[in-house]
Structure 1
């Protein structure tokens, strides 16, 4: 057993497979059980929102790219959910916000980020055209308040 195995614990057969893999693993192997990471649908919805915002909004008088808006939303969401900003001097003397990674967010955490971003859009008159066109508007948020 040299290739990593992953089991999504959604039914008894998956749990049995995970137990078998653990029993068969050589000494020194590592087992990690964790909540699922954000879904592909959540990721697509968030990026669609950032694209809509980039087309319609300005920040401090400037047009920003979807990636720049993503950075602002992730940073703002961290503060709004009682996290903290980790600002460090960069390699060339610039300031860098060492923020959490959206790819490492759990499903509930990403849902919270999407809710935060959509609330900002509603409060700032942003029409989520790309979100509606792609059918993401019904993507329900999950488990409020969890990280």
Structure 2
């Protein structure tokens, strides 16, 4: 994996491609979010979980991840095997940094509308988002 940040790195990537055997695959894509960003996302979701009543009940951080991601990326439904409707959420694990930034912005706006008091970890996310 090459993070294309300098001409030297780009040349090394080209060299690796030229030396690769037939049948190998090269994929160029935006950098995805990292583990540190993931930790901070969960801090934000935990803050929302502990402070927001949503339609008369509290939800776990995992549930908020689905609710808020659906607000950003949409969702689909499918019939379940027992006749129930199943919501098919969108994955956050493959988000690139731009998509992650959009999710952070959405969560902060949602929290601000509901007077969420952000923890230090969650505020770190916001500072990184603003300074990016």
TM above 0.5, one fold?
A: yes
Q: Please report the TM-score for the alignment, with normalisation by the length of structure 2.
A: 0.88
Deviations 1:56-87 (CA, angstroms, capped at 9, x unpaired): 11212111100001110001112xxxxx4211
Q: CA deviation at 1:127?
A: 0.8
Query: In proportion to residue count, which structure has more helix?
Result: 2
Contact 1:46 1:114 in 2 (8 A): yes
Q: CA RMSD in A?
A: 2.0
Deviations 1:107-135 (CA, angstroms, capped at 9, x unpaired): 01110011001000000111112435x73
Answering whether residue 104 of structure 2 is matched by residue 76 of structure 1, we say no
Residue in 2 aligned with 1:120? 110
Answering whether residue 64 of structure 2 is matched by residue 91 of structure 1, we say no
SS of corresponding position for 1:27: coil
Answering whether residue 64 of structure 2 is matched by residue 64 of structure 1, we say no
Aligned positions, number: 132
Aligned match of 1:135 in 112, 124, 127?
Answer: 124
Q: Please report the TM-score for the alignment, with normalisation by the length of structure 1.
A: 0.80
Structure 1 unaligned spans of 5+: 1-5, 79-83
Task: Report the Cα distance in structure 2 between the residues aligned to 1:131 and 1:95, rounded to whole angstroms.
Answer: 36
